[in-house]
Structure 1
Amino acid sequence: MTILIIAEHDNKHLRQSTLNTVTAAQQVGGDIHLAVFGSSIAGVATEAAAVAGVAKVLSFDDASLAEQGSEALSANVLSVASAYTHILAPATSIGKSVLPRVAAKLDVAQISDIIKVESADTFVRPIYAGNVLATVQSIDPIKVITVRTTCFDAAVATGGSAVVEAQAVQTVAQAATFVSRELAQSARPDLTAASIVVSGGRGVGSADNFKIIEALADKLGAAMGASRAAVDAGFVPNDLQVGQTGKIVAPQLYVAVGISGAIQHQAGMKDSKIIVAINKNPDEPIFQIADYGIVGDLFEVVPQLTAAL
Protein backbone atom coordinates (compact mmCIF):
# COMPACT_ATOMS: atom_id res chain seq x y z
CA MET A 1 0.00 0.00 0.00
CA THR A 2 1.11 3.54 -0.77
CA ILE A 3 -0.64 6.60 0.64
CA LEU A 4 -0.65 10.11 -0.80
CA ILE A 5 -1.35 13.03 1.55
CA ILE A 6 -2.18 16.51 0.32
CA ALA A 7 0.05 18.72 2.45
CA GLU A 8 -1.34 22.01 3.72
CA HIS A 9 1.01 24.94 4.25
CA ASP A 10 1.18 28.74 4.33
CA ASN A 11 3.93 28.93 1.68
CA LYS A 12 6.51 28.99 4.47
CA HIS A 13 5.76 26.08 6.78
CA LEU A 14 3.59 22.98 6.93
CA ARG A 15 0.40 23.34 8.89
CA GLN A 16 -0.09 21.07 11.89
CA SER A 17 -3.12 19.54 10.16
CA THR A 18 -0.69 17.85 7.78
CA LEU A 19 1.19 16.25 10.67
CA ASN A 20 -2.08 14.98 12.16
CA THR A 21 -2.97 13.45 8.80
CA VAL A 22 0.42 11.73 8.62
CA THR A 23 -0.42 9.99 11.91
CA ALA A 24 -3.72 8.77 10.45
CA ALA A 25 -1.82 7.46 7.42
CA GLN A 26 0.64 5.63 9.65
CA GLN A 27 -2.29 3.81 11.25
CA VAL A 28 -3.47 2.75 7.80
CA GLY A 29 -0.01 1.33 7.06
CA GLY A 30 2.23 1.42 4.02
CA ASP A 31 4.54 3.99 2.43
CA ILE A 32 3.53 7.62 2.92
CA HIS A 33 4.09 10.31 0.30
CA LEU A 34 3.35 14.01 0.78
CA ALA A 35 2.21 16.13 -2.16
CA VAL A 36 3.17 19.80 -1.78
CA PHE A 37 1.47 22.27 -4.12
CA GLY A 38 2.31 25.93 -4.61
CA SER A 39 4.75 28.43 -6.05
CA SER A 40 8.35 28.74 -4.82
CA ILE A 41 7.80 26.00 -2.25
CA ALA A 42 11.29 24.51 -2.04
CA GLY A 43 11.48 25.35 1.66
CA VAL A 44 8.13 23.74 2.39
CA ALA A 45 9.12 20.62 0.43
CA THR A 46 12.33 20.36 2.45
CA GLU A 47 10.36 20.68 5.68
CA ALA A 48 7.93 18.01 4.47
CA ALA A 49 10.84 15.68 3.74
CA ALA A 50 11.92 15.91 7.38
CA VAL A 51 8.60 14.64 8.76
CA ALA A 52 9.08 11.29 10.47
CA GLY A 53 7.43 8.45 8.58
CA VAL A 54 7.32 10.15 5.18
CA ALA A 55 9.07 8.20 2.41
CA LYS A 56 8.74 10.67 -0.47
CA VAL A 57 7.69 14.25 -1.18
CA LEU A 58 6.09 15.16 -4.51
CA SER A 59 6.76 18.84 -5.25
CA PHE A 60 4.29 20.53 -7.60
CA ASP A 61 5.95 23.93 -7.93
CA ASP A 62 4.39 26.31 -10.43
CA ALA A 63 2.97 29.83 -10.54
CA SER A 64 -0.42 28.41 -11.54
CA LEU A 65 -0.62 26.74 -8.12
CA ALA A 66 0.25 29.85 -6.11
CA GLU A 67 -3.25 30.19 -4.67
CA GLN A 68 -3.85 26.42 -4.42
CA GLY A 69 -7.19 26.54 -6.21
CA SER A 70 -9.24 23.38 -5.88
CA GLU A 71 -9.57 22.82 -9.64
CA ALA A 72 -5.82 23.03 -10.19
CA LEU A 73 -4.99 20.91 -7.15
CA SER A 74 -7.47 18.17 -8.02
CA ALA A 75 -6.14 17.95 -11.60
CA ASN A 76 -2.60 17.47 -10.32
CA VAL A 77 -3.64 14.94 -7.69
CA LEU A 78 -5.38 12.97 -10.43
CA SER A 79 -2.22 13.01 -12.52
CA VAL A 80 -0.51 10.74 -9.97
CA ALA A 81 -3.53 9.07 -8.33
CA SER A 82 -3.15 5.73 -10.10
CA ALA A 83 0.03 5.02 -8.14
CA TYR A 84 -1.75 5.09 -4.77
CA THR A 85 -4.12 2.93 -2.76
CA HIS A 86 -5.18 5.80 -0.47
CA ILE A 87 -5.41 9.57 -0.95
CA LEU A 88 -5.77 11.57 2.28
CA ALA A 89 -6.19 15.22 3.18
CA PRO A 90 -7.11 17.11 6.36
CA ALA A 91 -10.86 17.77 6.64
CA THR A 92 -10.32 21.50 6.18
CA SER A 93 -11.60 23.88 3.52
CA ILE A 94 -8.92 22.70 1.09
CA GLY A 95 -9.45 19.00 1.69
CA LYS A 96 -13.22 19.34 1.57
CA SER A 97 -12.95 21.17 -1.75
CA VAL A 98 -10.29 19.09 -3.50
CA LEU A 99 -11.01 15.48 -2.55
CA PRO A 100 -14.69 15.36 -3.62
CA ARG A 101 -13.50 16.37 -7.11
CA VAL A 102 -10.81 13.69 -7.02
CA ALA A 103 -13.25 11.01 -5.83
CA ALA A 104 -15.79 11.92 -8.51
CA LYS A 105 -13.18 11.74 -11.28
CA LEU A 106 -11.93 8.39 -9.97
CA ASP A 107 -15.53 7.14 -9.68
CA VAL A 108 -15.05 6.11 -6.05
CA ALA A 109 -16.89 6.98 -2.85
CA GLN A 110 -15.22 9.54 -0.61
CA ILE A 111 -15.02 8.75 3.10
CA SER A 112 -15.31 12.03 4.95
CA ASP A 113 -14.07 13.27 8.30
CA ILE A 114 -12.71 10.02 9.73
CA ILE A 115 -11.93 9.97 13.44
CA LYS A 116 -10.45 6.46 13.70
CA VAL A 117 -8.67 3.92 11.52
CA GLU A 118 -9.85 0.36 12.08
CA SER A 119 -7.85 -1.16 9.21
CA ALA A 120 -6.61 -0.27 5.75
CA ASP A 121 -10.16 -0.38 4.37
CA THR A 122 -12.32 0.31 7.43
CA PHE A 123 -12.77 3.68 9.13
CA VAL A 124 -14.97 5.36 11.74
CA ARG A 125 -16.65 8.67 11.01
CA PRO A 126 -19.30 10.73 12.82
CA ILE A 127 -22.78 11.25 11.38
CA TYR A 128 -25.85 13.14 12.60
CA ALA A 129 -23.71 15.91 14.10
CA GLY A 130 -21.60 13.38 15.95
CA ASN A 131 -24.49 11.62 17.69
CA VAL A 132 -23.77 8.40 15.81
CA LEU A 133 -20.45 6.89 14.78
CA ALA A 134 -20.53 4.96 11.53
CA THR A 135 -17.97 2.26 10.74
CA VAL A 136 -17.43 2.34 6.99
CA GLN A 137 -15.65 -0.27 4.89
CA SER A 138 -14.54 0.62 1.38
CA ILE A 139 -13.98 -1.84 -1.47
CA ASP A 140 -12.85 0.88 -3.88
CA PRO A 141 -9.38 0.37 -5.38
CA ILE A 142 -8.38 3.86 -4.28
CA LYS A 143 -9.66 5.14 -0.93
CA VAL A 144 -10.24 8.90 -0.92
CA ILE A 145 -10.43 10.14 2.66
CA THR A 146 -10.58 13.37 4.64
CA VAL A 147 -9.28 13.24 8.22
CA ARG A 148 -10.64 15.03 11.28
CA THR A 149 -7.25 16.18 12.47
CA THR A 150 -8.25 16.84 16.07
CA CYS A 151 -8.66 13.08 16.56
CA PHE A 152 -5.06 12.22 15.68
CA ASP A 153 -1.84 13.31 17.37
CA ALA A 154 0.64 15.25 15.28
CA ALA A 155 3.48 13.25 13.73
CA VAL A 156 7.03 14.19 14.67
CA ALA A 157 8.09 17.02 12.38
CA THR A 158 11.78 16.11 12.34
CA GLY A 159 13.97 13.08 11.91
CA GLY A 160 12.80 12.01 8.47
CA SER A 161 14.90 11.94 5.33
CA ALA A 162 12.44 11.59 2.46
CA VAL A 163 13.48 12.19 -1.12
CA VAL A 164 11.94 15.21 -2.87
CA GLU A 165 10.80 14.66 -6.45
CA ALA A 166 9.75 17.51 -8.72
CA GLN A 167 6.56 16.74 -10.63
CA ALA A 168 5.25 17.89 -13.97
CA VAL A 169 2.45 20.35 -13.27
CA GLN A 170 -0.88 19.99 -15.08
CA THR A 171 -2.36 23.32 -16.14
CA VAL A 172 -6.13 23.47 -16.38
CA ALA A 173 -8.73 26.08 -17.22
CA GLN A 174 -10.27 27.23 -13.95
CA ALA A 175 -13.85 28.43 -13.67
CA ALA A 176 -12.98 30.24 -10.44
CA THR A 177 -10.25 32.86 -10.31
CA PHE A 178 -8.45 34.27 -7.30
CA VAL A 179 -9.40 37.88 -6.55
CA SER A 180 -8.03 38.75 -3.13
CA ARG A 181 -7.40 37.41 0.35
CA GLU A 182 -8.16 39.07 3.67
CA LEU A 183 -6.41 37.51 6.64
CA ALA A 184 -7.71 38.02 10.15
CA GLN A 185 -4.91 39.34 12.36
CA SER A 186 -4.79 38.23 15.97
CA ALA A 187 -2.18 38.02 18.69
CA ARG A 188 -4.03 35.01 20.11
CA PRO A 189 -3.27 31.40 19.13
CA ASP A 190 -4.92 29.89 16.07
CA LEU A 191 -8.34 28.56 17.07
CA THR A 192 -7.95 25.07 15.60
CA ALA A 193 -4.46 24.54 17.03
CA ALA A 194 -4.78 26.20 20.47
CA SER A 195 -4.39 24.15 23.65
CA ILE A 196 -6.91 26.39 25.46
CA VAL A 197 -10.08 27.88 23.95
CA VAL A 198 -12.52 30.28 25.60
CA SER A 199 -15.83 30.57 23.75
CA GLY A 200 -18.80 32.84 24.26
CA GLY A 201 -22.41 32.30 23.26
CA ARG A 202 -25.68 34.15 22.92
CA GLY A 203 -25.77 34.62 26.69
CA VAL A 204 -22.89 37.12 26.47
CA GLY A 205 -25.47 39.51 25.09
CA SER A 206 -23.54 41.86 22.81
CA ALA A 207 -20.32 42.49 20.95
CA ASP A 208 -19.25 44.94 23.65
CA ASN A 209 -19.81 42.33 26.37
CA PHE A 210 -17.42 39.97 24.58
CA LYS A 211 -14.63 42.04 26.12
CA ILE A 212 -14.93 39.92 29.28
CA ILE A 213 -14.44 36.79 27.13
CA GLU A 214 -11.40 38.42 25.54
CA ALA A 215 -9.98 39.30 28.96
CA LEU A 216 -10.29 35.71 30.19
CA ALA A 217 -8.79 34.35 26.96
CA ASP A 218 -5.85 36.73 27.20
CA LYS A 219 -5.24 35.81 30.84
CA LEU A 220 -5.14 32.11 29.90
CA GLY A 221 -3.14 32.63 26.71
CA ALA A 222 -6.09 31.07 24.92
CA ALA A 223 -7.74 31.30 21.54
CA MET A 224 -11.21 32.82 21.45
CA GLY A 225 -14.21 31.08 19.94
CA ALA A 226 -17.96 31.53 19.76
CA SER A 227 -21.18 29.67 19.18
CA ARG A 228 -23.13 30.07 15.95
CA ALA A 229 -25.78 32.04 17.81
CA ALA A 230 -23.18 34.62 18.86
CA VAL A 231 -21.82 34.82 15.32
CA ASP A 232 -25.27 35.12 13.75
CA ALA A 233 -26.09 37.89 16.22
CA GLY A 234 -23.04 39.81 14.99
CA PHE A 235 -21.19 39.72 18.31
CA VAL A 236 -17.98 38.35 16.71
CA PRO A 237 -16.74 37.51 13.19
CA ASN A 238 -17.64 34.12 11.73
CA ASP A 239 -14.03 32.90 11.68
CA LEU A 240 -14.43 32.35 15.45
CA GLN A 241 -17.39 29.99 15.10
CA VAL A 242 -17.00 26.58 16.72
CA GLY A 243 -19.41 23.82 15.80
CA GLN A 244 -20.78 21.57 13.10
CA THR A 245 -20.81 24.40 10.54
CA GLY A 246 -17.78 26.14 12.02
CA LYS A 247 -14.40 24.96 13.20
CA ILE A 248 -13.71 21.65 14.94
CA VAL A 249 -11.50 22.03 18.00
CA ALA A 250 -10.17 19.61 20.62
CA PRO A 251 -8.01 21.63 23.03
CA GLN A 252 -6.72 20.54 26.40
CA LEU A 253 -9.15 23.01 28.00
CA TYR A 254 -12.40 24.40 26.56
CA VAL A 255 -14.29 27.07 28.51
CA ALA A 256 -17.88 27.61 27.34
CA VAL A 257 -19.35 30.88 28.59
CA GLY A 258 -23.03 31.62 28.08
CA ILE A 259 -23.35 28.74 25.61
CA SER A 260 -26.39 26.47 25.82
CA GLY A 261 -24.56 23.55 24.22
CA ALA A 262 -26.82 22.72 21.30
CA ILE A 263 -25.86 19.53 19.50
CA GLN A 264 -24.43 21.51 16.58
CA HIS A 265 -22.00 23.28 18.92
CA GLN A 266 -21.10 20.08 20.73
CA ALA A 267 -20.13 18.53 17.39
CA GLY A 268 -17.29 21.03 17.17
CA MET A 269 -15.84 20.80 20.70
CA LYS A 270 -16.96 17.71 22.60
CA ASP A 271 -13.62 15.98 22.03
CA SER A 272 -11.91 18.62 24.19
CA LYS A 273 -9.94 17.02 27.02
CA ILE A 274 -11.49 19.17 29.79
CA ILE A 275 -14.69 21.18 29.36
CA VAL A 276 -15.70 23.95 31.74
CA ALA A 277 -19.21 25.40 31.40
CA ILE A 278 -20.41 28.71 32.85
CA ASN A 279 -24.15 29.33 32.55
CA LYS A 280 -26.94 30.55 34.79
CA ASN A 281 -29.32 27.79 33.67
CA PRO A 282 -28.37 24.42 35.20
CA ASP A 283 -30.56 22.56 32.71
CA GLU A 284 -28.61 23.60 29.60
CA PRO A 285 -27.21 20.69 27.55
CA ILE A 286 -23.64 21.97 27.92
CA PHE A 287 -23.59 20.71 31.51
CA GLN A 288 -24.21 17.15 30.31
CA ILE A 289 -20.78 17.00 28.66
CA ALA A 290 -18.89 19.39 30.97
CA ASP A 291 -16.22 18.11 33.33
CA TYR A 292 -16.73 21.16 35.53
CA GLY A 293 -19.77 23.41 35.67
CA ILE A 294 -20.39 26.79 37.26
CA VAL A 295 -24.03 27.80 37.60
CA GLY A 296 -24.14 31.54 37.90
CA ASP A 297 -24.28 34.91 36.19
CA LEU A 298 -21.41 34.98 33.69
CA PHE A 299 -21.04 38.73 34.20
CA GLU A 300 -20.11 38.03 37.82
CA VAL A 301 -18.34 34.68 37.44
CA VAL A 302 -16.04 35.47 34.50
CA PRO A 303 -14.53 38.70 35.88
CA GLN A 304 -13.95 36.97 39.24
CA LEU A 305 -12.30 34.03 37.49
CA THR A 306 -10.13 36.35 35.40
CA ALA A 307 -9.05 38.30 38.47
CA ALA A 308 -8.20 35.11 40.36
CA LEU A 309 -5.88 33.78 37.65
Structure 2
Amino acid sequence: MACAGDAGGGNVLNIVWHEQENSFCHWLNNPSAITTEAVTSGYEANTLILQLNSIPMYVLKIWKEEFRVEAKHQYEFLESALAAGLPVPKPVGWGKTNQGLEVLATKFSGYPTDRPTKSQLEEFARILFQIHNVPLCNLKVTADMDTDIIDLLATNFFPGIERHPDIYAILQNLKGQYPCRERRLVHGDFNMGNVLISNGEITVIDWTDVHIGDIRYDLAWACVSLWIYLGEKEYNWFKNVYLACNELTVDELNVFESIAALKWILLNRLVSFPDGTRISEELRAFIEKRLPLEIYRLLD
Protein backbone atom coordinates (compact mmCIF):
# COMPACT_ATOMS: atom_id res chain seq x y z
CA MET A 1 0.00 0.00 0.00
CA ALA A 2 0.98 3.64 -0.27
CA CYS A 3 0.55 6.23 2.45
CA ALA A 4 -2.31 8.60 1.93
CA GLY A 5 -0.85 11.65 0.26
CA ASP A 6 2.44 12.05 -1.51
CA ALA A 7 3.44 15.22 0.28
CA GLY A 8 3.20 16.72 3.71
CA GLY A 9 4.53 15.85 7.14
CA GLY A 10 4.60 12.10 6.64
CA ASN A 11 6.57 12.26 3.45
CA VAL A 12 10.22 11.87 4.39
CA LEU A 13 12.61 13.53 1.91
CA ASN A 14 9.83 14.24 -0.60
CA ILE A 15 9.53 10.62 -1.67
CA VAL A 16 6.51 9.42 -3.60
CA TRP A 17 5.89 5.95 -2.19
CA HIS A 18 4.41 3.37 -4.55
CA GLU A 19 4.33 0.46 -2.12
CA GLN A 20 4.79 0.25 1.64
CA GLU A 21 4.35 -2.11 4.53
CA ASN A 22 1.62 -0.87 6.88
CA SER A 23 3.91 -0.46 9.87
CA PHE A 24 6.38 1.64 7.86
CA CYS A 25 3.59 3.77 6.45
CA HIS A 26 2.25 4.53 9.92
CA TRP A 27 5.74 5.14 11.29
CA LEU A 28 6.35 7.84 8.68
CA ASN A 29 3.29 9.71 9.89
CA ASN A 30 5.18 10.77 13.03
CA PRO A 31 7.75 13.03 11.32
CA SER A 32 8.60 15.19 14.32
CA ALA A 33 10.51 12.32 15.94
CA ILE A 34 12.24 11.10 12.77
CA THR A 35 15.83 12.07 12.03
CA THR A 36 18.13 10.97 9.22
CA GLU A 37 21.78 9.97 9.21
CA ALA A 38 23.75 9.81 5.97
CA VAL A 39 25.74 6.58 5.93
CA THR A 40 27.48 6.48 2.58
CA SER A 41 27.64 8.19 -0.77
CA GLY A 42 28.52 5.18 -2.83
CA TYR A 43 29.41 4.71 -6.47
CA GLU A 44 25.82 3.82 -7.41
CA ALA A 45 23.66 5.12 -4.58
CA ASN A 46 23.36 7.15 -1.39
CA THR A 47 22.25 5.49 1.84
CA LEU A 48 20.34 7.10 4.71
CA ILE A 49 19.33 5.68 8.08
CA LEU A 50 15.94 6.79 9.42
CA GLN A 51 16.02 7.09 13.20
CA LEU A 52 13.36 7.42 15.88
CA ASN A 53 14.69 9.24 18.93
CA SER A 54 18.23 8.48 17.66
CA ILE A 55 17.48 4.74 17.38
CA PRO A 56 18.06 3.33 13.85
CA MET A 57 14.83 1.90 12.45
CA TYR A 58 14.89 1.89 8.65
CA VAL A 59 17.33 2.38 5.78
CA LEU A 60 16.73 4.24 2.52
CA LYS A 61 18.81 3.47 -0.54
CA ILE A 62 18.56 6.19 -3.20
CA TRP A 63 20.12 5.31 -6.54
CA LYS A 64 21.90 7.97 -8.55
CA GLU A 65 20.35 9.13 -11.80
CA GLU A 66 22.91 7.49 -14.09
CA PHE A 67 22.17 4.00 -12.73
CA ARG A 68 19.00 2.51 -14.14
CA VAL A 69 17.88 0.39 -11.20
CA GLU A 70 14.21 -0.35 -10.60
CA ALA A 71 13.50 -0.26 -6.87
CA LYS A 72 10.32 -2.25 -7.44
CA HIS A 73 12.36 -5.20 -8.70
CA GLN A 74 14.71 -4.93 -5.72
CA TYR A 75 11.71 -4.90 -3.37
CA GLU A 76 10.18 -7.96 -5.01
CA PHE A 77 13.48 -9.84 -5.01
CA LEU A 78 14.06 -9.21 -1.30
CA GLU A 79 10.55 -10.43 -0.49
CA SER A 80 11.16 -13.65 -2.41
CA ALA A 81 14.65 -14.07 -0.94
CA LEU A 82 13.30 -13.77 2.60
CA ALA A 83 10.71 -16.42 1.82
CA ALA A 84 13.53 -18.65 0.52
CA GLY A 85 15.40 -18.32 3.82
CA LEU A 86 18.22 -16.03 2.69
CA PRO A 87 19.66 -13.52 5.20
CA VAL A 88 18.50 -10.35 3.44
CA PRO A 89 17.00 -7.16 4.91
CA LYS A 90 13.23 -6.98 5.15
CA PRO A 91 11.88 -4.61 2.46
CA VAL A 92 9.23 -2.18 3.69
CA GLY A 93 8.68 0.17 0.75
CA TRP A 94 9.79 1.52 -2.57
CA GLY A 95 9.16 4.73 -4.47
CA LYS A 96 10.78 7.69 -6.18
CA THR A 97 12.03 11.10 -5.15
CA ASN A 98 10.55 14.21 -6.73
CA GLN A 99 13.55 14.15 -9.08
CA GLY A 100 12.66 10.63 -10.22
CA LEU A 101 15.43 8.81 -8.33
CA GLU A 102 14.59 5.23 -7.35
CA VAL A 103 14.28 4.57 -3.59
CA LEU A 104 14.18 1.31 -1.62
CA ALA A 105 13.31 1.18 2.09
CA THR A 106 14.32 -1.73 4.32
CA LYS A 107 14.37 -2.44 8.03
CA PHE A 108 17.63 -1.53 9.76
CA SER A 109 19.82 -4.63 10.00
CA GLY A 110 22.97 -3.48 11.77
CA TYR A 111 26.43 -2.31 10.74
CA PRO A 112 29.46 -3.90 9.07
CA THR A 113 32.28 -5.05 11.31
CA ASP A 114 35.71 -3.52 10.68
CA ARG A 115 37.68 -6.52 11.94
CA PRO A 116 35.65 -9.73 11.62
CA THR A 117 36.92 -12.69 13.61
CA LYS A 118 38.01 -15.98 12.06
CA SER A 119 34.71 -17.60 13.02
CA GLN A 120 32.74 -14.69 11.55
CA LEU A 121 34.63 -14.86 8.26
CA GLU A 122 34.06 -18.59 8.08
CA GLU A 123 30.34 -18.01 8.65
CA PHE A 124 30.34 -15.32 5.93
CA ALA A 125 31.81 -17.90 3.55
CA ARG A 126 29.08 -20.37 4.42
CA ILE A 127 26.47 -17.68 3.81
CA LEU A 128 27.88 -16.93 0.36
CA PHE A 129 27.77 -20.66 -0.36
CA GLN A 130 24.13 -20.68 0.80
CA ILE A 131 23.35 -17.81 -1.57
CA HIS A 132 24.99 -19.64 -4.46
CA ASN A 133 23.02 -22.81 -3.77
CA VAL A 134 19.55 -21.57 -2.88
CA PRO A 135 16.74 -23.08 -5.01
CA LEU A 136 15.87 -20.63 -7.77
CA CYS A 137 12.29 -21.63 -8.51
CA ASN A 138 10.51 -18.91 -6.50
CA LEU A 139 13.09 -16.12 -6.61
CA LYS A 140 12.09 -12.98 -8.49
CA VAL A 141 15.34 -12.33 -10.32
CA THR A 142 16.52 -12.27 -13.92
CA ALA A 143 19.05 -14.59 -15.54
CA ASP A 144 22.01 -13.35 -17.54
CA MET A 145 22.44 -14.20 -21.21
CA ASP A 146 23.78 -17.62 -22.15
CA THR A 147 27.05 -16.38 -23.60
CA ASP A 148 30.75 -16.45 -22.80
CA ILE A 149 31.36 -15.64 -19.13
CA ILE A 150 34.21 -13.25 -19.94
CA ASP A 151 31.99 -11.25 -22.30
CA LEU A 152 29.31 -11.05 -19.60
CA LEU A 153 31.79 -9.81 -17.02
CA ALA A 154 33.25 -7.21 -19.38
CA THR A 155 29.77 -5.90 -20.18
CA ASN A 156 28.29 -5.92 -16.68
CA PHE A 157 31.20 -5.29 -14.30
CA PHE A 158 33.81 -3.27 -16.21
CA PRO A 159 32.42 0.23 -16.83
CA GLY A 160 34.13 2.09 -19.66
CA ILE A 161 36.44 -0.82 -20.43
CA GLU A 162 36.72 0.30 -24.05
CA ARG A 163 38.89 3.18 -22.79
CA HIS A 164 41.30 0.76 -21.08
CA PRO A 165 42.72 -1.41 -23.88
CA ASP A 166 45.21 -3.21 -21.63
CA ILE A 167 42.51 -4.63 -19.36
CA TYR A 168 40.27 -5.32 -22.33
CA ALA A 169 43.08 -7.25 -24.05
CA ILE A 170 43.59 -9.46 -21.00
CA LEU A 171 39.89 -10.32 -20.85
CA GLN A 172 39.84 -11.08 -24.57
CA ASN A 173 42.76 -13.48 -24.11
CA LEU A 174 40.79 -15.36 -21.45
CA LYS A 175 37.66 -15.75 -23.58
CA GLY A 176 36.53 -19.23 -24.46
CA GLN A 177 38.71 -20.97 -21.88
CA TYR A 178 36.19 -21.15 -19.04
CA PRO A 179 32.78 -22.49 -20.12
CA CYS A 180 29.88 -21.19 -18.04
CA ARG A 181 28.89 -23.36 -15.12
CA GLU A 182 25.39 -24.18 -13.93
CA ARG A 183 23.36 -21.00 -13.40
CA ARG A 184 22.96 -20.08 -9.74
CA LEU A 185 22.07 -17.03 -7.68
CA VAL A 186 24.79 -14.36 -7.84
CA HIS A 187 24.93 -11.49 -5.32
CA GLY A 188 27.10 -9.27 -7.51
CA ASP A 189 29.05 -7.36 -4.84
CA PHE A 190 29.65 -9.57 -1.82
CA ASN A 191 32.14 -7.71 0.37
CA MET A 192 32.50 -6.94 4.06
CA GLY A 193 30.77 -3.58 3.68
CA ASN A 194 27.65 -5.43 2.57
CA VAL A 195 27.60 -7.94 5.42
CA LEU A 196 25.90 -6.51 8.52
CA ILE A 197 25.76 -7.83 12.07
CA SER A 198 23.18 -6.98 14.74
CA ASN A 199 22.92 -8.95 17.98
CA GLY A 200 24.78 -11.82 16.37
CA GLU A 201 22.45 -11.98 13.37
CA ILE A 202 24.02 -11.60 9.91
CA THR A 203 22.31 -9.80 7.03
CA VAL A 204 23.61 -9.38 3.48
CA ILE A 205 22.65 -6.09 1.81
CA ASP A 206 23.12 -4.31 -1.55
CA TRP A 207 21.54 -6.69 -4.05
CA THR A 208 21.65 -4.16 -6.90
CA ASP A 209 23.54 -6.54 -9.20
CA VAL A 210 21.73 -9.74 -8.21
CA HIS A 211 21.11 -12.17 -11.07
CA ILE A 212 21.15 -15.82 -11.99
CA GLY A 213 24.47 -16.66 -13.56
CA ASP A 214 28.00 -17.97 -13.04
CA ILE A 215 29.10 -17.84 -9.40
CA ARG A 216 32.88 -17.95 -9.92
CA TYR A 217 33.39 -14.19 -10.27
CA ASP A 218 31.06 -13.56 -7.30
CA LEU A 219 33.32 -15.65 -5.07
CA ALA A 220 36.46 -14.14 -6.57
CA TRP A 221 35.31 -10.56 -5.93
CA ALA A 222 34.57 -11.42 -2.30
CA CYS A 223 38.01 -13.00 -1.90
CA VAL A 224 39.91 -10.15 -3.56
CA SER A 225 38.04 -7.55 -1.48
CA LEU A 226 39.12 -9.39 1.66
CA TRP A 227 42.70 -9.59 0.46
CA ILE A 228 42.77 -5.83 -0.20
CA TYR A 229 41.04 -4.51 2.90
CA LEU A 230 41.77 -7.10 5.61
CA GLY A 231 44.80 -9.15 4.58
CA GLU A 232 46.00 -12.51 3.33
CA LYS A 233 45.23 -14.38 6.55
CA GLU A 234 41.59 -13.31 6.54
CA TYR A 235 41.37 -13.95 2.80
CA ASN A 236 42.53 -17.54 3.33
CA TRP A 237 40.13 -18.16 6.22
CA PHE A 238 37.19 -17.17 4.02
CA LYS A 239 38.37 -18.83 0.81
CA ASN A 240 39.29 -22.15 2.38
CA VAL A 241 35.89 -22.62 4.01
CA TYR A 242 34.07 -21.81 0.77
CA LEU A 243 36.25 -24.12 -1.33
CA ALA A 244 35.72 -26.94 1.17
CA CYS A 245 31.99 -26.73 0.34
CA ASN A 246 32.32 -26.28 -3.42
CA GLU A 247 33.77 -28.13 -6.40
CA LEU A 248 35.77 -25.14 -7.66
CA THR A 249 39.49 -25.74 -8.11
CA VAL A 250 42.16 -23.35 -6.87
CA ASP A 251 43.49 -22.89 -10.43
CA GLU A 252 40.03 -21.93 -11.66
CA LEU A 253 39.56 -19.47 -8.82
CA ASN A 254 42.99 -17.94 -9.53
CA VAL A 255 41.81 -16.79 -12.96
CA PHE A 256 38.59 -15.27 -11.67
CA GLU A 257 40.43 -13.61 -8.79
CA SER A 258 42.69 -12.01 -11.41
CA ILE A 259 39.62 -10.72 -13.22
CA ALA A 260 38.25 -9.31 -9.95
CA ALA A 261 41.59 -7.62 -9.24
CA LEU A 262 41.50 -6.09 -12.74
CA LYS A 263 38.08 -4.66 -11.98
CA TRP A 264 39.41 -2.98 -8.84
CA ILE A 265 42.31 -1.52 -10.83
CA LEU A 266 39.84 -0.23 -13.43
CA LEU A 267 37.57 1.33 -10.81
CA ASN A 268 40.57 3.00 -9.20
CA ARG A 269 41.46 4.56 -12.54
CA LEU A 270 37.91 5.94 -12.69
CA VAL A 271 37.40 7.23 -9.14
CA SER A 272 40.85 7.23 -7.43
CA PHE A 273 40.30 5.20 -4.25
CA PRO A 274 42.20 6.15 -1.08
CA ASP A 275 45.68 4.63 -1.30
CA GLY A 276 44.70 3.42 -4.76
CA THR A 277 48.16 3.63 -6.33
CA ARG A 278 49.75 1.37 -3.71
CA ILE A 279 46.89 -1.14 -3.79
CA SER A 280 46.94 -1.23 -7.59
CA GLU A 281 50.64 -2.10 -7.53
CA GLU A 282 50.03 -4.85 -4.99
CA LEU A 283 47.20 -6.19 -7.14
CA ARG A 284 49.53 -6.31 -10.13
CA ALA A 285 51.75 -8.70 -8.15
CA PHE A 286 48.64 -10.64 -7.10
CA ILE A 287 47.63 -11.03 -10.76
CA GLU A 288 51.14 -11.94 -11.90
CA LYS A 289 51.07 -15.00 -9.63
CA ARG A 290 47.77 -16.17 -11.09
CA LEU A 291 47.84 -15.57 -14.86
CA PRO A 292 50.17 -16.86 -17.58
CA LEU A 293 53.05 -14.41 -17.96
CA GLU A 294 52.25 -13.59 -21.60
CA ILE A 295 48.73 -12.50 -20.57
CA TYR A 296 49.84 -10.62 -17.46
CA ARG A 297 52.32 -8.56 -19.51
CA LEU A 298 49.41 -6.99 -21.40
CA LEU A 299 48.63 -4.92 -18.29
CA ASP A 300 50.01 -1.37 -18.52
TM-score normalised per structure 1: 0.26
Higher strand share: 1
Higher helix share: 2
TM-score normalised per structure 2: 0.27
